[in-house]
Amino acid sequence: MIVDKREARVLVFDARGKLRGASPALIGLAIGDHSVPGIGDKKLSDIRPEERTTPAGRFVAHLDKNLRGQEMLWVDYDTAVSLHPVVKGHPMERRAQRLASSSPAERRISYGCINVPAHFYKQVVSPAFTGTDGIVYVLPEVRSMQEVFGTDDGWKEGSRQSKGIHR
């Protein structure tokens, strides 16, 4: 899976690299590529707007249940970042309308989690991760790809000739 924060989009691939599906997503309100230390232990009400980032990086993700017994994909347990179907939230947040917006800036609203349409989660995300862990790459929006992922000498950011990301 690739989460493109600049475009507020999620792309899910099978083990052979074939695209299984793509969807707009709601991501963290604040621009940034890191999580505040200890953010996973804070109550949502204690998280300031500037702390509401979706961290960039390579994560080993797995399906699990939230406290209400609903399935979700843990992206990074330590920072409490998961991917799940969009939640209603406060009516003023207009999450469903934001998710449908063509503007990536409109889709910045979450506390750091990645929200996708329920049908996309059920038809694409859940089957892709059922019975297995998977890799989620959350692309950076401030730092370089090399800073976030580490790269070999053959990498040229933005090049189709790159040897790929490793680590």
The pTM (predicted TM-score) of the whole model is 0.85
3-state secondary structure (DSSP) of residue 122: helix
Question: Which tens digit of pLDDT belongs to each residue from 91-123?
Answer: 788 888 899 999 999 999 998 999 999 999 999
Q: Is residue 143 part of a domain?
A: yes
Exposed, middle or buried, 42 (CB in 10 Å: 0-12/13-18/19+)?
Answer: middle
Q: Is residue 167 part of a domain?
A: no
- Residue 81: CB atoms within 10 A of its CB come to 29
Q: Is residue 67 part of a domain?
A: yes
**Residue range 134-158: mean pLDDT, rounded:** 80
- Residue 71: which CATH number? 2.40.440.10
Q: Is residue 155 part of a domain?
A: no
Q: Is residue 126 part of a domain?
A: yes
Banded model confidence at residue 6, pLDDT cuts 50, 70, 90: very high
Residue 71 predicted with pLDDT over 80: yes
Tokens of 151: 């790269």
3-state secondary structure (DSSP) of residue 13: strand
Domain count, the chain: 1
The parent domain of residue 82 ranges over 2-149
